[in-house]
Structure 1
Amino acid sequence: MKIDTNIKPTGVVQNYCSNCGSKLVVAQPDGDNKLRYVCSDCDTVHYENPKMVVGCIVSHQGKILLCRRAIEPRANFWTVPGGFMELNETIAAAAMRETYEEALAEVEIDGILAVIDVVHARQAHIFFHGTLKGDSYGVGEESTDTRLFAPADIPWNEIAFPSGTMALKHYLHVLATDEQSVLYAQAGRIKHP
């Protein structure tokens, strides 16, 4: 193992081993090609992996359900219901849970709509399409408003994140062309005016 005390891996700085509590060093483990945080005592390698974010484009009677964010980042902007995946749940279950938490909406998942890399944020976003079960939806704790928008009325300049915009546009493309496809793309940073 090659130790380097001057260079740090990208991402979150880690100081102590979650396995034994000893000091971490920056090293390139044998057989690896990247610098990692490695425990100086038990040799546990602490990998940095991207976070999974899931969302659901919910349709109901030709309209799309959006939530106005109550929390940062991007408070007061509109978004597709979504958030971070938790341990011990499937990606579809995470999308349904997030949709209920943000919009008090129960959905039937129809399938994956988009997979979008958000490399600068160390995330991967997976968007599903789902249909609203019944007519019930509301304002969850992380939202200040929820609304069904006709496609022509979507507030494009007020959508919180580029990945949400990309997934919404792909959904509208699928509707217009009846071409069943999954978008794979990479989202850039938010452009501030």
Structure 2
Amino acid sequence: MKLNINIFKIETNHVAPQKGRILIAEPFLPGSYFNRAVILLVAYSDKGAVGFILNKKVDYPINQIIPDFPDFDADVYVGGPVSTDSIYFIHSLGTEISGSIHIKDDLYWGGDFEELKSKIRLGMVKPGDVRFFMGYSGWDHGQLEEELAENSWLVTDIDQQAVMGEESKKQMWLNIVKGIGGKYLMWEHFPENPSMN
């Protein structure tokens, strides 16, 4: 019986990468960082791309990672393999945090970290307003395009609620794949580690 390998081929003209869209890892993409990852692109240009993995939570809250951080009930996620000794954040506070970079809608990246901490101390920021990441995912000029040509990523849109919402991110990859539908529904039936099957 001949296998239909087209189920692994991503429609490259489906959606183009751009700031504010997400990358969905194909089912067998190896590595602890990118296996079943959902990555929000916060920057995309001909110079390269930057993003944060949305669905891989760290076991420690922000207060344990940064000792002088104000009391704040917020999770931290693995952002990617680059600069894992640094904390990055996205938020919905807009220009209330100076130096923020607009991603899309009411979604922003970074800004003055001390200002953020101050607003948290004053009770002006809720946990649902900000998401923290250890490290980030980065691609040099042409690197992401090469990976897209190799069918490593599916690009699609995402709304702000899905990015910032407090519901569990553990099933995010699966839920997005189901939402896209079509032949990608087959992806949910593949084991994370095919050698374990």
User: Comparing both chains, which one has the higher relative contact order based on Cα–Cα distances under 8 Å and sequence gaps of 6 or more?
Assistant: 2
TM-score category of the 2 structures, normalised to the smaller one: under 0.3
Higher share of residues assigned strand: 1
Normalised to the residue count of structure 1, the TM-score between the two structures is 0.24
Higher share of residues assigned helix: 2
Larger radius of gyration: 1
